[in-house]
Each structure stands twice: as C-alpha cells, then as structure tokens.
Amino acid sequence: MDIKQLRYFCAVADEGQITKAANKLHMAQPPLSQQIKNLQEDLNAKLFERHGRSLQLTTSGKVLYKNAKKILQEMEETIIEVQETEEGIRGVLCIGSNKSCFSYLPEQLKQLRYKHPDISFLLREGDTSFLSDSLTHREIELALVRLPVDLQEFSILRLPSEPYVLILPEEWSSFDPNIHSVSMNELKNIPLMLLHRLSGAGQFELVVNECRSHGFEPNIICECPDASMLLSLASAGVGATIVPKSTLQGFRYGNLRILELEDAKILAELGIIWKRDHYLTKGAKRLLDLFKEAYPYKL
C-alpha cells in the first residue's frame, strides 16, 4: 500500500463511482479499478459494496478512509512546510469571509502584500456554515466569520465585537427624521429582513431572541444569508434590516437610513477561524499576526 493507492481509494470513496473518480483523477477507468482491486488484495479486506450504480464503503473501508484522509493531509502539510522552508512566504493564501464582516479584511491583505509581494490570494465568500464546510474540506485555510462556531472543531482569533444597527428605507416615515436611535420596542410593527445562515444558529436567532426578550415577536418578511441582498432590498423600500454596524462599510447603497438600537443587549461577534490540528502556512500565520496587531482583543 502506498500514497498513490490511498489517493485513488479516497477518490473512489468520495465520488461513489469508479468512472467519476477516474475523471476526477484524470486517468482511465481500468487501471483505477485494478489499483482498488490490488489494495483490497494487499489488505485482505473488502473495502466497497455495490448498491445500484454507486459504491459504498464497508466497515473496513470506513476505517481505512478515516485514516487515509489523515495520512494524505499530513503528507500534504509536510510538503507545504518543506517548500515554505526553502521559499519563504509566497504562494496562494486561500481565505473565506462573510460579506457582513469583509470590511475588516482589505487593509490586512494590503499590508500582507506590501510586506510579502510574492503572495497572492484566493477569496471565497459565503455564510459561516458554508465557510466552515470549506475549511473542513481544505478548500480554504482561514475564514473571517460571524460567530458562533463549533470551537471543538475550529481554532479562533477573536476580533472586537460591534453593535447591531437598524437599516431602513430613507423614504419611510416610521420615525422622526431628527432622531438617531430607537428602542427595541419601537420595532414591533416594522417589517424586518434578517440574515439567516444556510444551516445552524447565528445572527438570525440572536436578533429574534433579543426581540422576544423585549416582549414582542418580530415581523419577519424575509430571511437571507447575503447582507448585500438585504441592503439592496432595504434600499428599494421592501423592508428594514438589522445588521452589524461595519457591514455598511463594504457596500454603497443610497436611500438608506441608519439608526442605533439604544437598548439592545446583543453584540455582533466575529473572528478568524481555522481547522484545529491543521498546519497553517506562513502566509496564514502572518495574516493572523497582522490582525492581532490591528485588533488586540480584550475579554
């Protein structure tokens, strides 16, 4: 059994078919089938069972898959570490970010490029659940996200919390034009559009629970994982939204009015997360250092 066989095995397990795995590996189907057959003979174990057109792992196959993934990950990280020892900080740094906290990222990327001009970036946008999955599948290395996240699965560099604000169409006459803040109880009859993760709990539940703590059920007319879409809808007069204050720095929409929430107890928490026990490249470590310098977190 060698590394190449483990890669072939994991590809078949991931795709569920020899044909799809062969296409993914850019090789012909017969030699891939032969490699899987050889691996089963070497281990004297049946690794797959056929169910219709798909292949599913046996109990033995699941054990091998779990450990093969670890071995391949360690091999990949070892290669990167060796290369970085020779090359210094360079290559592609893969980063993800929520739209609602992207405004924290550009200045630090600028500083990183200034100090290390050989580095480049691959950026991926999505909500926290999507980016968490991307980290798990090694598609990105770091993610700037709104909390909460599973701290058993991810390490985190916390950044300073910030308040939520009410964003509503400028033409609405819901509130006196001279005021700059409102109480939570004044939102009872306001049609709200809230950020909602594709899966898991996050800002949506935080805002809803805050409304309930003030004795009312919010009038929610729209749920969406994309902050820019909510701001665009608010600008068009569809409804109001509640977002972290810094969200507005990343977008330029007209016809919007911003009001502070004077008695809200909730704060928008954010941080940079990465997969626990995974090797971080020098570029990723340096970016984390820049954030620590720019936003020293205090409990």
Quote the CA–CA distance of 85 and 81 in Å, as a whole number: 6
CB neighbour list of residue 70: distance below 8 Å, 6 or more residues apart = none
- Give the mean pLDDT of 216-231: 94
- Give the mean pLDDT of 119-137: 92
Of 92-101, 129-138, 235-244, 277-286, the one with minimum mean pLDDT is 277-286
Helix (H, G, I), strand (E, B) or coil at 67: helix
Task: Name which of 167, 284, 289, 174 is nearest 229 in CA terms.
Answer: 167
Of 49-53, 60-64, 267-271, the one with minimum mean pLDDT is 49-53
The per-residue pLDDT of the chain, averaged, comes to 90
Eight-state DSSP code of residue 53 = T
| pLDDT-based confidence at residue 163 (cuts at 50, 70, 90) | very high
Eight-state DSSP code of residue 157 = E
Cα angle 288-289-295, degrees, rounded to a multiple of 5: 85
- Six-digit token string for 181: 């803040």
Quote the CA–CA distance of 82 and 91 in Å, as a whole number: 13
**pLDDT for 88 beyond 70:** no
pLDDT given at position 299: 47
- Give the mean pLDDT of 273-282: 87
- Give the mean pLDDT of 52-80: 86
Pick the more confident residue, 277 or 154.
Answer: 154
pLDDT in tens, 174-183: 899 899 999 9
- Give the mean pLDDT of 155-175: 93
CB neighbour list of residue 146: distance below 8 Å, 6 or more residues apart = 98, 100, 101, 128, 202, 203, 244, 268, 269, 270
Residue type, 15: E
CB neighbour list of residue 181: distance below 8 Å, 6 or more residues apart = 259, 260, 261, 262
Helix (H, G, I), strand (E, B) or coil at 50: strand
DSSP for 216-278, please give it.
---EEEEEES-HHHHHHHHHTTS-EEEEEGGGGGG---SSEEEEEETT---EEEEEEEEETTP
Residue by residue, what is the 3-state secondary structure of 131-152?
HHHHHHCCCCCEEEEECCCCCC
Share of the chain above pLDDT 70, in %: 95
Give the predicted TM-score (pTM) of the model: 0.69
- Give the mean pLDDT of 265-275: 94
**pLDDT for 271 beyond 90:** yes
| pLDDT-based confidence at residue 86 (cuts at 50, 70, 90) | very low
- Six-digit token string for 278: 């995974």
pLDDT given at position 259: 96
| pLDDT-based confidence at residue 89 (cuts at 50, 70, 90) | low
**pLDDT for 83 beyond 90:** no
Helix (H) or strand (E) holding 59: helix 59-87
12 neighbors 18 (Cβ within 8 angstroms):
yes
pLDDT in tens, 6-30: 999 999 999 999 999 999 899 999 9
- Give the mean pLDDT of 187-196: 94
Q: Per DSSP, what are the bridge partners of residue 75?
A: none
Eight-state DSSP code of residue 36 = H
